[in-house]
Structure 1
Amino acid sequence: MPTGDNPGEPPRPSTPNTTCKYALITPTKRAVAVILHEDCEMSFRRICERTPFKRAKIKPRALAKAYLMVKDHDGDCYANNRKNCGWKKIIPDEEVNEAVRRIDEGELIDGEDVRKAMWPDRPARTVRHVLINAGLPGHAQRQKLPLLARHIEGRETMFKKFEAWTNQRVFEDGVWLNSDETKIMLGSSDGRRWCQERHGRFNLKINVWGVIHPNGVGELIRVEGNLTAVQYVDILERGLLDLYDHYENHRHTFLYFQQDNNPKHTSRLAKAWLRDKQINVFPWPAKSPDLSPIENVWAELKRRICSHPRFPTIQTTDKLFEVTQEVWKSDSFGEYAKVVYRSFPRRLQLLKENKFMWID
């Protein structure tokens, strides 16, 4: 008969076993049962006839209860309805959600950023796995290509022709319409490094065309599918013509429309349209996104979309475009675009100082 720790103590009463029978099924057996039942479509009775289960004398009803418990706990084979049971997560869900939020808002870029900022004592591999489980697998982004001699020559030629624009007053006496297209994606980022990118809902993306000018932003036009020369001319009809006419009827020392060297922009159809409408096209050098102020406007647009109150509820591309337009047309964003627009003289000066190489 069991006795107490000290002689003379009355025997301690035995502790009743309150654990359910299905709690005695090991996590390994539960995992095997889930696979056999779901993938092999085996009944619990047939599973119990297999050696590991038969040797443990596990009944079909107990196995069925264990299976339901696993499903109720999101696949956790360690759960058994007891306090503090189940698989212990290395990083709490609250901290993972905070990391996801900071990545979505662009504050952090990749797993290494997250590890340094939030979990410096955790291995990098653990952090990557946590982000992958949260729907943020990593991928390598494209590297900025080096400038060739002809690119440097083109940048230098442009600078020499418009060197007077390094004077802020000279630049602001004229009008320079800075245009471009961009892709708006949920949870995207740019740069050369490993980054985390969402899948599923966060695969939603739209292409838009926009233009900035001395008074803010112009029309934001959605590009349907892949851009074609015909569609680009239609975009110019809708988004450029009225804006160009507006500034043409106002006093100015120069009026230029800027576009990059996308083949659709330089197609015969687009060139003919620009020539027929008597639009003065700015000679933009190839491989020069670093000189274009609208690139900063796109980056700010994407950042504000991520912090928009409706961002978590976006489920369709139409909703994404609605939010994008709402941000684009806001007064504060227009003021931001004005400030960025006026940075072009400084960019030209940096171009000269960097010997016509990248300025960023």
Structure 2
Amino acid sequence: MGKKSVSSPLKWQIIGLLKSGDKKQNAIAKLLGVSPKCVSSTKKRYEETGTVSDRSRSGLESHTAVRKPLLTIKDRQKRYKWCKQRLNWTINDWSRVIFSDESNFEVFNRNSRVIVKRFKNEKFHPKFCIPRLQNGGGSAGIWGCISYKGTGISNIYTGRINQFVYINTLENNLLPSVELLFEQNDPWIFQQDGASAHTAHLVSDWFKEQNIEVLPWCARSPDLNPIENLWSYMDAKMVNTKVTSIEHLKEVLHKEWLKIPTEYVKKLIESMPKRVLVCYKAKGGHFKY
């Protein structure tokens, strides 16, 4: 009787558990229903080749490494649960949400590419993803929000956002955006990520005072936020613009934000049911968006 083949997804799960450091190899083998030898050999293959595949490396091709936040096992579990709870949400449900985010843009475009060797189906494996880092000097930040009706009122700034700056942004940019994007007395929900400035007690108290419902959100989940696509969209529009100073950059950001087509924003909101479904099928892992 031949030995049972262990699938690549299961082997990647072995690597994930090994990296988490929560369990020893024998415990992982028992948990996943594989032999201790399988765990050991998978670990060795990953350390030597950067993959868990048994296939010949002759099938490797050059690809630009995908920049994705590092997801822990707990992150994946929370994302999976979050998506499961919203599988039945329709476009009408998502049209009630105001999505928000901040992004930094630099005066000089230094979006360097990293070339990696991988198989076509290994695009989102952790080995071939580069964590995105936000850098300081020579840059300007933009806070923005969107709903099904289009873009809200942006806030373009320099420096870091703390709880006081964030509350000022909510008062001067979010609230006027609500009036712009929703009819009076229309129900709406606010989305934000879990940045420390967003979740400070002072900010939480402000939301309560304003009677604003905040959508629960998972850590390291920009792929679930449709506004993330707008940053790439703006970056692409600005790539041939020669920005000479921070003040010039702020002007360009303001103009590009105002030029974002409403139809494009609508399509992003309409993508939410599919995003949730794909993330759910990926068991909370990275997915293409």
On whether the aligned pair clears a TM of 0.5, the verdict is yes
In 2, are the aligned partners of 1:214 and 1:338 still within 8 Å (CA)? yes
Identity of aligned residues (%): 25
* In the alignment, structure 1 residue 151 sits paired with structure 2 residue 72: no
Alignment match of 1:323 (pick from 241, 252, 277): 252
Alignment of 1:77-88 (within 5 A): none
Give the match for residue 165 of structure 2.
Answer: 231
Q: Distance in 2 between matches of 1:191 and 1:294?
A: 23
Alignment of 1:93-104 (within 5 A): none
In 2, are the aligned partners of 1:289 and 1:295 still within 8 Å (CA)? yes
Q: Distance in 1 between matches of 2:99 and 2:212?
A: 13
Q: Distance in 1 between matches of 2:113 and 2:96?
A: 31
Q: Distance in 2 between matches of 1:251 and 1:270?
A: 23
Give the match for residue 270 of structure 2.
Answer: 342
What is the letter of the counterpart of residue 105 of structure 2?
I
* In the alignment, structure 1 residue 215 sits paired with structure 2 residue 149: yes
In 1, are the aligned partners of 2:149 and 2:181 still within 8 Å (CA)? no
Alignment of 1:181-260 (within 5 A): 181-185=102-106, 186-189=108-111, 204-245=138-179, 249-250=183-184, 252=186, 254-260=187-193
Give the match for residue 135 of structure 1.
Answer: none
* In the alignment, structure 1 residue 353 sits paired with structure 2 residue 286: no
Q: Distance in 1 between matches of 2:247 and 2:163?
A: 24
What is the letter of the counterpart of residue 287 of structure 1?
R
Count of residue pairs the alignment pairs up: 205
Q: Distance in 1 between matches of 2:154 and 2:112?
A: 21
* Larger RCO (CA within 8 A; separation ≥ 6): 2
Q: For residues 247 and 305 of structure 1, do their structure 2 counterparts lie closer, same or farther at Cα, with a shift above 3 Å needed?
A: closer
Cα shift at 1:335: 3.0
**Deviation string for 1:270-306 (max 9, x for gaps)?**
1111111111100011111111111111100111112
**Deviation string for 1:108-127 (max 9, x for gaps)?**
xxxxxxxx9xxxxxxxxxxx
TM-score, with structure 2 as normaliser: 0.64
In 1, are the aligned partners of 2:77 and 2:283 still within 8 Å (CA)? no
Q: Distance in 1 between matches of 2:283 and 2:77?
A: 10
SS in 2 for 1:284: coil
Alignment match of 2:218 (pick from 267, 273, 285): 285
SS in 1 for 2:198: coil
Alignment of 1:111-190 (within 5 A): 144-165=68-89, 167-168=90-91, 170-171=92-93, 174-185=95-106, 186-189=108-111
TM-score, with structure 1 as normaliser: 0.52
Cα shift at 1:255: 1.6
Q: Distance in 2 between matches of 1:256 and 1:297?
A: 20
**Deviation string for 1:123-153 (max 9, x for gaps)?**
xxxxxxxxxxxxxxxxx99963542222122
Q: Distance in 1 between matches of 2:215 and 2:180?
A: 18
SS in 1 for 2:218: coil
Q: Distance in 2 between matches of 1:192 and 1:267?
A: 36
- The root-mean-square deviation of aligned C-alpha atoms, in Å, is 2.7
Give the match for residue 6 of structure 1.
Answer: none
What is the letter of the counterpart of residue 191 of structure 2?
Q
